Structure 1
Amino acid sequence: MSTDSSSSGSIQSSRSGFLASPSGSARPARPAQLDPAILDHLGGGLDPEVISEMSHASAAALLDRVHHTEDPQIVRRVITLVDTEGVDIIAQLWSNAEPDSLPGILWRLYLLRTWMQRNREQIARLWRLGEPVATTASAIVGVDETPDAEDIARTADSILSGAFTGDFAVALDRASAFTDVIANGLRVQAHRITAPQKDAAAHGGTQGAQEASHDVQTRAARLMHTAANLLTTSRDFHEGAHLWRRGRLE
């Protein structure tokens, strides 16, 4: 992920998810884990209240089924749902759900995993910027201060699988701590690319140098905007963990 690609739409506010647009196949197959009767009606212009009821019911049913299964293949199919079926189907069910709801949180967890898997090398670099020494965040997430791309991919799967097979609140805590570190990495990167430009501006410069400085400032602003969006997502995960522990995430 270059400086530009990490900030020009690949991550958005948690209200709309990490991805700029659905990225599955043109006609995704129906995942067996979701009720076909629900999916049959999604394209029919149902009342938003009905869609909301469906989103909550499907999220609860999916989570409950995996929690009560001992079949590792079912667990894997659920974790890789976006990879195999495309993001479109679960987007129709969950993308408009509020972040303080079970479907809204599951939507964000799926998109976090997708983003981490697709940008693992760039995210590994951002982690090293945001967490140069091991802190409590490293312990919570389960990543040291120098992860590589494969470490990020494993962590992505571990966070999502933990949501389905372990303590849901712990998985959300891990997701929150992870996004906090990456947001800090983006802020550090923004500072690093603007510092030389500020020094040059203090000593004057040619028109070309001024234009280059403007481009850098624009890139840095995008990085800071992306960091702010990730911090919003981190707060959503943190609040979701709090609600789950109180039995109020539905």
Structure 2
Amino acid sequence: MDPQDISEISHLSAAALLDRVQHSEDPEVVHRVLTLVETVGVDEIAELWSKSEPDSLPGILWRLYLLRTWMRTHRDSIARLWRVGEPVATSASAIAGVDQAPTEEDIARTADSILSGAFTGDFAVALDRAAAFVDVVTLGLRIEAKIMITKAVQMHPESEKQIRTKAARLLHTAGNLSVTAKDFHHGAALWRCGKLE
């Protein structure tokens, strides 16, 4: 398809989906939208929204769906990272709505809550919650990488190299997540100004 046509379809579908759910009182509609990735498949949604700019409605919805999928798939490691990062970023836990020591199930519930809040609550608040959540996990990754590097210098050179490689991967992931958090913050600001389309 023509890239312009794909862009138009992605924007129209995102706006229609958001509008349909926000004007529905039916909890089944919310559930279907929440589990869209599981029922339709991430590839179908990716084909439609993944190339959308991060400062667009389809681009932000794509990131919200990916965040939920990632949180539910890696809930054990994310819960651990949250426990590492949260003591440093305590205000973010209040914004994200997560306890200091979340369980794996708490992470899954938070993932659902953030995405469903985008459809049933204030969209900007849902984006702020997503950004705060990602910020804490990012901080957890950076702290873990720093601890690894500190321990690595006391090890055999070959082990040190492996640990530094793992730490570099954590920092790379943290960098990517930091960009996503900024996208969520920017999307919330655009939504509040009526400019997220």
TM bracket, shorter-chain basis: over 0.9
Which TM-score applies when normalising by structure 1?
0.77
Which structure is richer in relative contact order (CA contacts within 8 A, separation 6 or more)? 1
Aligned position for 1:139: 94
Aligned position for 1:241: 188
The answer for unaligned runs of 5 or more in structure 2 is none
- Confirm or deny: 8 A CA contact 1:124 1:152 kept in the other structure: yes
Aligned position for 1:29: none
Q: CA deviation at 1:193?
A: 1.5
Which TM-score applies when normalising by structure 2?
0.98
Q: CA deviation at 1:199?
A: 3.3
In the comparison of the two structures, how many residue pairs are matched? 197
One of 57, 77, 80 as aligned partner of 2:32: 77
**Structure 2: how far apart are the matches of 1:234 and 1:133?**
17
One of 118, 125, 129 as aligned partner of 1:163: 118
The CA deviation string for residues 142-165 of structure 1, in whole angstroms up to 9 with x for no partner, is: 111111101000000000000000
One of 149, 157, 176 as aligned partner of 1:210: 157
**Structure 2: how far apart are the matches of 1:244 and 1:173?**
11
**Structure 1: how far apart are the matches of 2:89 and 2:140?**
14
Matches within 5 A, 1:1-250: 46-132=1-87, 135-200=90-155, 209-250=156-197
- Letter of the 2:139 partner, please give it: N
**Structure 2: how far apart are the matches of 1:220 and 1:148?**
24
The answer for unaligned runs of 5 or more in structure 1 is 1-45, 201-208
**Structure 2: how far apart are the matches of 1:115 and 1:230?**
11
Q: CA deviation at 1:133?
A: 6.2
Computing the radius of gyration from Cα coordinates, the structure with the larger value is 1
